[in-house]
Structures are given as C-alpha cells and as structure tokens.
Chain A
Amino acid sequence: MQNAREVVFRRLNKRIVLIAVLLLLPFAVDALLGRGWLRIVDFAMLYIMLALGLNIVVGYAGLLDLGYIAFFAVGAYCYALSASPHLAIAFPRLFPDGVHLSIFIVLPVSALLAGGMGVLLGAPTLKLRGDYLAIVTLGFGEIIRIFMNNLNAPLNLTNGPQGISRIDPISIAGISLNATQRIFGFTLPSVHLYFYLFLFFAGLVVFVSQRLERSRIGRAWMAIREDEIAASAMGINTRNLKLLAFAMGAAFGGISGTLFAGFQGFVSPESFSLMESVMVLCMVVLGGMGHIYGVILGGLLLALLPELLRHSVVPVQQALFGKTIIDPESLRMLLFGFALILVMLYRPAGLWPSRVRRRELSSDERPNESA
C-alpha cells in the first residue's frame, strides 16, 4: 500500500518536473543561445508533431508513406487560403478583403480534409503490398506539389511558385501571438507564445499516440505490422485499420501544417518537397519506429542538425581550405542518406527503440517468403 502510493507519487513528481522544465525552456534558450535559436526550437516542435503523426503510419502500422509532407501542405494551404488577403485576388467580387477565419475553425477542417485525402489515397493501395504504397504516396506528394505550383492560372488559387504571403498570425481569444504580450506579469515575446502553443499541440499528439498505442486499435496495428496474415486470422479487419492509421497520420500532418502556416506567415510549394518527406521519415526511423520518445528524440536531433551544420561546417571549411567546398544543405542530405542506410543495417529498431519493436526486428530469420 505504502509502496504503491510512493510509486504514484514519484511518477507524478517526475511529470511535474518535466512540465516545469518544458515551461521554462524558452526562457533558458532565449537567455543562453538567443532568440534565433528559440525560433529554431519552435520549428523543431512542428517537426516533432509531424514525426509523431508519421510514426502512427510507419511505426505502428508498418506502412511506408513517402509523401507524408503532402498532408502537411494540405493543412498549410488550408490556413493560408482561409486566413489571408489572397482570395481577394482570385475572387475580388466574392471576397473583397480575402478570408480571415480563426485558426480554431481551420484546424478541424484541415485535419478532416487531410485525413479524407489520406483515405482516398490509401483505399486503392492499402489492399496491395507495402512497396506499392510507398511509390503511390511518393507520386501523390509530387502531384500535390505540381498542382500547388501550377494552380495560379487561369484561376489564381495557390499563387503558384511565389506562394501565399501575409497570412494572419495565430491569435487566441483576441491575443495575437505575433506580438509581445504581458500575461500575469510575465513579458512573453512572440516566439515564446508560439512555443507554448506548439508545446500544447505536441503534448496533445503525444497523449493521443500514447492512448492509441495501448488501445485495441494500437494493438491491432502492431499485429498487422508484425504479421498481417496472422492478424487477419485473429479477426482483425486489416484493411479498415490500415486506412484508419493512414487517415490519422494524415490528420496530424494537416494540423501541424496549419500551425506552420500561421507561424511562418508564408507558404510556398518549395516547403513541401520530397526531401521534407524524407526528413520526417528519417526522424521516425532514426529515433525508433513505433516509440514515442524515440521519435521525439529523432525529431529534435534532425531538426537541430541543419543549424548545427550551418554553424560548424562553413567556418571549419573556411579555416581549412579558405572556401566552402561542401555546402551544409547537401552535406545534411548526404548524412540523412547514410543515416538511413546505417541505421537499417546496424540498428534497425532506431537509436531509442521500443521494446516490442526491438524484439520483432532482432528475430532475423523469417519463414520462407517466396514459397
């Protein structure tokens, strides 16, 4: 009795400490590294949300989605169109000032829209083998980008490669997150406010993921991942559950996209290239497929890596050779590529794997598949 209470108490204590650290983090980063880095941390939070969304698809259900960024793009464009003066250009009669909806109306809409697209895309391919899904999602990501690039004529919907700018900043109950606010005597600059907003949503995604993982649905997903035939023999409706995983991952992608558009104030097709999809996939694979904390670690590492490279690679090369031979951007991609290969060869369950996944991937000899 005493023991159980102690355990609960310790766990609660741990949680309180974690929350306190997270709440103080922006002040620490701001004081130690500067405001630029806090902005980078904000972006890292968005990436973590994306990676957690993809983790549902790749990590839990074992479906390789290579066009995940397309759902992010859907969410971003959703908010860009419904909270900017842009539509006034395409339909000046209908919307003389453009459209300016609150983000809390747009969030569920973009989650639904992205989730619906996920279902549409998944339905024809999910009954096939996994490799097809990878290619079709890859193609879908490209199609979305081609459309965003070209839907500026004859009707200017997306403004083409220039993208949509002057997107309304996110505001909550009349408080704009784009300006410094004083709340309870604290002075909170814009980046701090966005950090807390993203922290809230990331926490929400983590919470939902955790609940899912331990639910009937989550167990069914993992059963499908480990052996689809055995899973369906156990009475699991594999097709519907795979669709659900796909839709749910897509919806999370849509939500993060919406937040991204509000934070950045500008979207263009360039932000949604295949390489972004690959980067999010890298976060999931490197961190540990199917393990929430592993994925968070992967997201944090890979979102901060380009900044670290930018601050280290160029000066080092300048000092050694007097010029920049390898630009940090291509070095980053090169490292991603090698990381994917090496992790799969030597640490297939990721840097911080979940226990289930590690057991599953270490059983090397699988039954004869070609027979």
Chain B
Amino acid sequence: MEIFLQQIINGLVQGSVYALVALGYTMVYGILGLINFAHGEVVMMGAMVALSALSVMAGLPPLVSLPLSLFLAISVCMALGYGIERIAYRPLRHAPRLAPLITAIGVSIVLQNLAMLIWGRDYHSFPQLFANHAHRIGGAIINDIQIVIVVAAFLMMAGLMLVVHRTRLGRAMRAVAENQHAAQLMGVDVNRVVSITFMIGSALAAVAGVMVSANYGLAHYYMGFLLGLKAFTAAVLGGIGNLRGAMLGGLLLGLIESLGAGYIGDITGGFMGSQYQDVFAFLVLIAVLIFRPSGLLGERLAERA
C-alpha cells in the first residue's frame, strides 16, 4: 500500500511536468496543425539557462536568485520559441507537410548540440537552494519541492485557461485555431497570434525544465529529447489540440508510468524491471493511436484532409 501511494505521488509530480510541456505541443498543434519537434529541447534550454544563472548568482540569497534565474530562463526560451517559429516554420506554412517536420528535427538537433557545446556532456547538479523537508502521508513521502511543483503547475494551467477563454488574445487564438483565413478576415493578426502562442508554450516549457531539474537535482543536454517525446504522448493521449486534454493526458501518463515501473517486476515475474519505464509511454502512444486516435477528450478526428 505504501508503495502504491508513493508511486501515485511520484506519478502526480512527474505528470504535472508532462502536462506543462504537453500544453506547448497541443497549443501549437491546435493553431498550426504542426508538431513542434523542437519543444523538448526548449525545455532543456530552460533548465540549463536557469542552472547557469543560479551558479552565477550563487552569492545572492535564494529568494532573489531563484526568481531572477527563472525569469531569465523564461525570457531566453520565449525568444527561442519566437525564433524557431520565425526561422523554421513560418516560411514553410504552405509547403507540403513533410517540410516543417524535417526542419523541426533540424532545429532540435541544432539546439541539442549547441547545448552540448556550451554546457558540455556532463550532468550538472541543480543546487539545493532551500531546505527540502520531507513529509509523510500514510507511509509515503512527499517533499517540499514536489509540493511546489504540483501547486505551481496547477496554478499555471489555471492561468493559461483564463488567458485562452477570458481575454481578447485568447479569443484570437481560438479563432485562428478554428479557421485561419476567417480569423484573418475578421482582423486578427494571424502571424502575431502564432508567435505569441509559441512564446507562451516556450515559457511553460522553461518552467517545466526548471521543475524537472529541481526535482531530480540534475540537468543534462540530452534531457529534452525523452521528456519531449513523453509530453507529446501525453498530448496525444488527451486529444491533441485540446488544452484540457493535454493536462489530463500529462497527469495520466505520469501515473501510468510510475505505477507501471513500480509493478512491472511483479507482473512479469522479475523478467522485466523498472529499466523498462521509458517503454510505457510509447506503448500508451501506440495503444491510443490504435483504439482512440482522437484521444480521450479530442472531438475532432485525427485525420484531417
């Protein structure tokens, strides 16, 4: 029972990070019908920038240095998101679908190797800024950082929902997602909306990157790849293009993964262990694509003419 509860907690923490990253995928997909392959690398960049900023400001009190470095990471990632869209996607908006997919892979390789040149191949440890108390809930352990991650993720998701459903910008975003040309005729600056969407997604990604590295205490130039892939799976699971779906999918995927890793040993009689944890996301992805390609909350069919 303690193991079960512990895995639920781990899954919830991991799932909130997936949800934040998945939102970035799903927003871009909803508006452009494009998978932003480089999104995972933006997450990694956020973590690395924050880490560097923290190590530069090591002398300052953490209450000053943490918000500052978070701000820096978010700004860098927003600039990145804007630049990626501008350089690699916008010129190809009317090209055959294969073209932006290939540039996206190119961008992600470039970002990864740039990060490797700047920060090296080593794992960087994330400094412990605050005392990280552990709390016991019915035998399972949850620590302060994990609580902060879950709460912050939910606050940000709520904020995003407010922006999308209650503001003028949000209305423009929904209009562009529905029909680009009609939105343009109604006076919506489509290019601006697309740019802002990329920037919002990248800001969420930056925060997610900092959360992951704070939780595990590590950051690495390669961390974005797998994280991005899983977050994409989460977006598909929830129904890509659907914001609530991305959140639900993220949390569910986190839970599936941690429960799966916790129990796979028992299920297979010790044949497979937790080293197969990463396989679950892909199994979920394939299963969703076979049985419910529109995802849990997606109404539109995945195949669009």
Contact = CB atoms under 8 A, between A and B. Distances in A.
Contacts of A326: 117
B227 to A, nearest CB: 13
A341 B88 contact: yes
A340 B99 contact: no
Contact of B99 (A147, A154, A348): A348
A336 B94 CA distance: 24
Contacts of A302: none
B302 interface: yes
Interface in B252-305: 270-273, 275-276, 278-279, 281-282, 285-286, 289-290, 293, 302-305
Given A129-B302, A338-B106, A136 B286 contact: yes
Contacts of B108: 337
Contact of A124 (B112, B225, B286): B286
A330 B221 CA distance: 12
Nearest to A154: B271
Contacts of A130: 97-98, 101
Contact of B181 (A124, A274, A368): A368
Interface stretch (A138-146, A198-206, A248-256, A311-319): A138-146
B213 to A, nearest CB: 22
Given A129-B302, A345-B92, A136 B97 contact: no
A364 interface: yes
Contact of A142 (B95, B270, B278, B289): B278
A142 B113 CA distance: 19
A364 B95 contact: yes
Interface in A299-327: 326
A132 B97 CA distance: 12
A320 to B, nearest CB: 16
Nearest to B177: A370
A129 B102 contact: no
A330 B110 CA distance: 10
A12 interface: no
A294 interface: no
A303 to B, nearest CB: 18
Interface SS of chain A? helix
B180 A361 contact: no
B94 A143 contact: no
B35 A337 contact: no
Contacts of A365: 94
A62 B98 contact: yes
Interface SS of chain B? helix
B181 A278 contact: no
A337 B110 contact: yes
Interface residues of A, number: 53
Contacts of B289: 124-125, 128, 132, 136
A129 B110 contact: no
B285 to A, nearest CB: 6
B106 A139 contact: no
A64 B103 CA distance: 12
B271 A330 contact: no
B282 A341 contact: no
B148 interface: no
B128 interface: no
Contact of B275 (A136, A139, A150, A361): A150
B137 interface: no
B285 A124 contact: no
Nearest to A138: B229
Contact of B101 (A131, A149, A370): A131
Interface in B195-247: 225-226, 229, 232-233, 236
Contact of A330 (B117, B281, B285, B293): B117
Contacts of B99: 344, 348, 361
Contacts of A224: none
A183 interface: no
Contacts of A345: 88, 91-92, 103
A370 B225 contact: no
A109 interface: no
Interface in A354-371: 360-361, 364-366, 368-371
Nearest to A141: B282
B56 interface: no
A81 B117 CA distance: 38
A371 B179 contact: yes
Nearest to A155: B271
A302 to B, nearest CB: 13
A344 B114 contact: no
B148 to A, nearest CB: 31
B92 A344 contact: yes
Nearest to B225: A274
B163 interface: no
Given A124-B289, A128-B293, A341-B106, A146 B270 contact: no
Interface in A139-175: 139-140, 142-143, 146-147, 149-150, 154
A127 interface: yes
B279 A146 contact: yes
25 contacts: A128-B293, A129-B97, A131-B34, A131-B35, A135-B285, A139-B282, A142-B282, A146-B279, A154-B271, A229-B305, A278-B105, A326-B117, A334-B117, A337-B107, A337-B110, A337-B113, A340-B106, A341-B106, A344-B99, A361-B99, A364-B95, A365-B94, A366-B94, A370-B179, A371-B179
Given A129-B302, A142-B229, A142-B278, 14 more contacts: A128-B293, A135-B236, A136-B282, A139-B281, A149-B275, A275-B109, A330-B117, A334-B117, A337-B113, A340-B103, A344-B100, A364-B95, A366-B96, A369-B33
